[in-house]
Structure 1
Amino acid sequence: MEQNELVSITQGTLAIMNPTTPEKVLAAGRAAGLREGSRVVEVGCGNGTILALWGREYGISGLGIEAREDACRRAEETLRMAGLGDRIAVRCMDAREYVPDGPFDCAASIGASHIRGGFSATLDALLDLVRDEGTIVVGDRYWRSDRVPPEFAREWPDIPTEYEILGTVRDAGLDVAAVVRSGADDWDRYESGIWQSILSWLGGHPDHPDRDFMIDYLHRIQDEYFGYGREHMGWALYVLVPGFY
């Protein structure tokens, strides 16, 4: 099954396609200094929920970039229903090909570091999108320690520890202004939403040629979560600002 189709099936019905909450998303926006008139770009905006939250609460304008056409349609509808269709646009394209018309006040990548291949490359790309005093918000996975079982770590070669994240941020000339961490309940809710989406799809597609693949995928991600993920993997929103060096 093609990767974008798999993402749409497993997470397309989730309002926020990450283990976090609207309250935590708003907290990150507040720490980033978002306010009326702030121009924000979100790379991999999914269903548009995060931009809609920031638009309603802080009055931002800006742009969401998303490669999956079905997600683009949902994001446009989300923003329209929030009364933000005239302030926040959606560009349906590969974010790696996006060339901005001008710098933004804030650039965000919430659970989308896979687009660039990891935290460091994502941070470099986001820095190219903001003005000198601009802020960055990255939502990403991290290892809770450097003692992750090798058989699990090999499945996620791009995930750093938080101390490695801190070093990458400082090497880029930034400081961490805030971290908004996800808890066990956030993870359970997120993972359960994915399992329920897969089970619903299986119930509605008894003769689909990818049915066996989806059953195997469901069982594999559950094995990972119960066997290793819940203990060793974390997720957080990192708010990054120009550093004092």
Structure 2
Amino acid sequence: MENNELVSISQGALAIMNPTTPEKVLAAGRAAGLRAGSRVVEAGCGNGTILALWGREYGISGVGVEAREDACGRAEQTFRAAGIGDRVAVRCMDAREYVPDEPFDCAAAIGASHIWGGFAATLDALLGMVTDEGTIVIGDRCWRSDRTPPEFAREWPDILTEYEILGTVREAGLDVAAVIRADGNDWDRYESGIWQSVLSWLGDNPGHPERDFMIDYLHRLQDEYFGYSREHMGWAIFVLVPGFW
């Protein structure tokens, strides 16, 4: 099954396609200094929930960039429903190909580092979208410690520890203004939402040629989660600002 279709099936129904909450998303926006007039770009904006939250609460304007056409349509609906359709637009394209007409005040990638292949590459890409005084918001997976069993760590070679993320941020000339971590309940809610979406699809598509693949996919996700992810893998939103050094 094509990856974008798989993501749409497994996560398309989730309001926020990450193990976090609206309250934590708003806390990240507050730490990033978002306010009326701030221009924000979000790479991999999904169905637009995060930009909608920031638009309603802080009065931002900007652009969401999303490659999946079905998600682009939902994002447009989300922006209209939030009353920000005149301030926030969707660009339906690969974020790697997006070039802003002018730099933004803030660039975000919440659970979208896979677009560039990891935290460091994502940070570099987002820095190219903001002003010299711009802020960066990245939500990403991270290992809880540097003692993750090698057999698990090899499955996710692009994931860093939080301390490695800190070093990457400082090497880029930035400081961490805030870290907003997912807790166990956030993880359980997120993963369970994916499982329920896949189970719903299986119930609705008894004769689909990809049915066996989807069953295997569901079981593989659950094996990973119960086997090691729940214990060893974290997720957090990192709010990054220009360094004072």
TM-score category by the smaller chain? over 0.9
Amino acid at match of 2:174: L
CA distance, structure 1, for counterparts of residue 45 and residue 169 of structure 2: 22
Deviation of 1:155 after TM superposition, in Å, equals 1.3
Counterpart for residue 70 of structure 1: 70
When the two chains are superposed, the root-mean-square deviation of aligned CA atoms in Å is 0.5
- 5+ unaligned residues in a row in structure 1: which ranges? none
Deviation of 1:146 after TM superposition, in Å, equals 1.2
Counterpart for residue 50 of structure 1: 50
Are residue 233 (structure 1) and residue 233 (structure 2) matched? Answer: yes
Amino acid at match of 2:150: P
1:149-191 Cα offsets, whole Å, 9 max, x none, are 2222111110000000000000000000000111000000000
TM-score w.r.t. structure 2 length? 0.99
1:21-170 maps to which residues of 2 (within 5 A)? 21-170=21-170
TM-score w.r.t. structure 1 length? 0.99
CA distance, structure 1, for counterparts of residue 146 and residue 209 of structure 2: 40
1:46-71 Cα offsets, whole Å, 9 max, x none, are 00000000000000000000000000
Deviation of 1:147 after TM superposition, in Å, equals 1.5
- 5+ unaligned residues in a row in structure 2: which ranges? none
CA distance, structure 2, for counterparts of residue 76 and residue 217 of structure 1: 30
Percent sequence identity over matched residues?
A: 84
CA distance, structure 2, for counterparts of residue 44 and residue 113 of structure 1: 9
Amino acid at match of 2:87: R
Are residue 196 (structure 1) and residue 196 (structure 2) matched? Answer: yes
CA distance, structure 2, for counterparts of residue 84 and residue 57 of structure 1: 11
Counterpart for residue 219 of structure 2: 219
Amino acid at match of 1:222: Q
CA distance, structure 2, for counterparts of residue 26 and residue 145 of structure 1: 27
1:125-156 Cα offsets, whole Å, 9 max, x none, are 00000000000000000000112122221111
CA distance, structure 1, for counterparts of residue 17 and residue 216 of structure 2: 21
Deviation of 1:106 after TM superposition, in Å, equals 0.2
CA distance, structure 2, for counterparts of residue 150 and residue 174 of structure 1: 30
CA distance, structure 1, for counterparts of residue 39 and residue 143 of structure 2: 32
Where does structure 1 differ by over 6 angstroms across 4 or more consecutive aligned residues? none
Q: Which moved more, 1:150-159 or 1:73-82?
A: 150-159
